[in-house]
Amino acid sequence: MSIAPAETATASHCPYCALQCAMTLTDSAGAISVGARDFPTNRGGLCKKGWTSAELLSSPDRIVEPMLRQPDGGFAAASWEDALDLVADRLSALRAEHGADSVGVFGGGGLTNEKAYQLGKFTRVALGSSRIDYNGRFCMSSAAAAGNRAFGLDRGLPFRLEDLGAAETILLLGSNVAQTMPPFVAHLEGARAAGGLIVVDPRRSATARLTEDGAGMHVQPAPGTDLALLLGLTHLVIAERLADREYLAARTTGFEALRRSVGEWWPERTQEHTGVPVWQLREIARRLAAGRGTYILTGRGVEQHEDGTATATAAINLSLALGLVGTAHSGYGTLTGQGNGQGGREHGQKCDQLPGYRKITDGAAREHVAAVWGVDPQSLPGPGVPAVELLSSMGRAGGIRCLLVHGSNVVVSAPNASRVREGLAALDFLVVCDFFFSETAQFADVVLPVTQWAEEEGTMTSLEGRVIRRRRAIDPPPGVRSELWILRELARRLGSPSTFSDDPAVVFDELCRASEGGTADYSGLSHELLDSGVAAYWPYPTGSAGTPRLFLDRFAHADGLARIVAVRSRSSAPPESGTLTLVTGRLLEHYQSGAQTRRVPELAAAQPVARVQLHPATADRLAITDGAEVELANARGSVRCVAELTPDIRPDTVFLPFHFAGDECANLLTSDATDPVSGMPEFKRTIVTVRAVQRELSNA
């Protein structure tokens, strides 16, 4: 009688968003099933994406051996030896002819801490290039810049997520957590029960609907006016003597400049600019000041703008004026989107940073990291350029001639996507590491198959700054390799002056040493410690117990004070009548560029095509019917999609998800203009025209 193989269960976390929901992966004869696991962030819950995440491990679309582009434009399988030899030879030739900065590296916010760290080290040591950035530039850069400037430190939530449960008032701007990270909603229940959930969104989103039946308030400003709204609220807090003057005097600097700067945003002017009525503005300001346990949270909706850093700064200023930050029961935070968006930017993927959130221009930081790497500090390149500038340089004089892409699908996710496609086609050489033939991989000269989340060991850092373990539950297909192994093998071929390990625990230990003494200090951590179940919030220096709640005693500036930085709105006029503004965002069923979730049958069936939301009055004016095919267009391009009529959106606004590719790609329309401080592109304020086309599409 044959004996069935025993099932093995592995504790891990979801591969998608930064909530990093805990799950149990059960391996039964090589097939993985997902079970929810109780954890402070998700409390035993998962969303559709999490429940179906294991399906991709055995997807028929999986790349399982290196693929090389052929003269006819197709791809053919190759051995790892041949593929890596080709990559190393081309990298060496391009560097010799055009210089180290002719080679660029584009990373991703879904990479483990170990891979993000190793990628930054590989770029600067093995390649000698400064040209590295990552897709987190499209996600958290404005909030990060604002947080660093105000507090001296950037951690998405400087408190535990579960702390929100005791809040009576939560102001949530620019985030639809009910769809993007559904288990998060449980942490809003205390504020809802107290009638204090305030959601700011031009749409009546699933999150905005949580405010109904006395649970709070939905504020529906015109798109792109969040900065004016926050300035107006701050004006009211000061004018109505709601500011915490004792806190401001003891813990901040710059309040007088703030007071002067918001003087012009009296309620009536704020109403004219934003469309938010005066009574609602006053009610919000008073509620924020009166509530016991008040939190202000921001998301991408207020940050993905040319003035995103100013807007995030305005939210911080409002929080400081109310005395919320660095207290035991209130606070300000920003919601990280990608799975490792926090850790991915701490340890070397950003163009201007070294591990530990150190500035690459800081001489002491360079010496410390160079000593860990065993190289001369002078050999490390200086700062590079942010993501949009890096991608824009493809195919241009003095720009990059080769690009290595890890964990990103820039053809769909980057702004002004037509320009990105042109740039990729103009490169001399493109290498893409991926699980599937993504839209970006289709442009590649070499595609290298890499491990998925359940096939690898490592660590991630969640939206609350908690470092958690990713554990291997199943072996990868025989021809698939980890990025750590790929980088080790390429570094060896390139004659790197430093060593590269493919053991995640060894790489993490090196990361911890490199981060020691930095803002994001991981030096007290190890895989072994994390495996013990300790709750590890960074900074976690050697000998400490971590830092679940930051700033209780002092801020991270040398004098311990928070910086209030006065900001101004760049525009003083409301949008012209009849103008349609496109905002982009996420759906419950899909994630990021959709390269993964569009391959899950259940998720693809639920949301098979891109649908643009329009108000019925707008649709009537444009002679558009529900379910009709429409074209959105501007000077950068056009998109074909299906009309979805809903009263849940403002008549001057249209909404399009950014998960779809080809002619449905929302980023064919978005601008590559960027915030001058953070390098964040303008994703959330794009002027478009909308027209019906003759052919009708099915609602199916």
Per residue in 77-119, pLDDT tens?
999 999 999 999 999 999 999 999 999 999 999 999 999 999 9
Distance separating alpha carbons of residues 273 and 340, to the nearest angstrom? 36
pLDDT score of 5:
53
Mean pLDDT of 409-425: 97
Quick check: 244 and 323 in contact, CB under 8 A? Answer: yes
pLDDT score of 395:
87
Domain at 8-58: CATH code? 2.20.25.90
pLDDT score of 130:
98
pLDDT > 70? residue 76:
yes
pLDDT score of 2:
44
CATH topology of domain 580-696: Barwin-like endoglucanases (2.40.40)
φ, ψ for residue 640 (rounded to 5)?
-105, 130
* 141-334 shares its CATH topology with 580-696: no
* Percent with pLDDT over 90 in the chain: 92
pLDDT score of 573:
57
The domain 67-139+340-503 is placed in CATH, from the list 3.30.390.30, 3.40.50.740, 3.30.70.980, 3.40.50.300, at 3.40.50.740
Distance separating alpha carbons of residues 649 and 610, to the nearest angstrom? 17
Closest Cα partner for 335 from 305, 284, 296? 296
pLDDT score of 139:
87
pLDDT score of 336:
87
Per residue in 377-399, pLDDT tens?
999 999 999 999 999 999 899 99
pLDDT band, residue 578 (cuts 50/70/90): confident
The string of DSSP codes covering 349-387 is: -STTEETTTEETT-HHHHHHHHHHHTS-GGGS------H
* One-letter identity of residue 628: A
φ, ψ for residue 332 (rounded to 5)?
-125, 145
Token reading at 234:
């701050």
Residue-averaged pLDDT of the chain:
94
Closest Cα partner for 313 from 143, 154, 544, 457? 143
Distance separating alpha carbons of residues 384 and 393, to the nearest angstrom? 12
Mean pLDDT of 460-484: 96
pLDDT band, residue 696 (cuts 50/70/90): very low
User: Domains of the chain: which residue ranges?
Assistant: 8-58, 67-139+340-503, 141-334, 580-696
Distance separating alpha carbons of residues 537 and 539, to the nearest angstrom? 6
Per residue in 238-256, pLDDT tens?
999 999 999 999 999 999 9
pLDDT score of 695:
58
Q: Class assignment of domain 141-334?
A: alpha beta
Per residue in 597-623, pLDDT tens?
999 999 999 999 999 999 999 999 999
Mean pLDDT of 347-358: 95
pLDDT band, residue 4 (cuts 50/70/90): very low
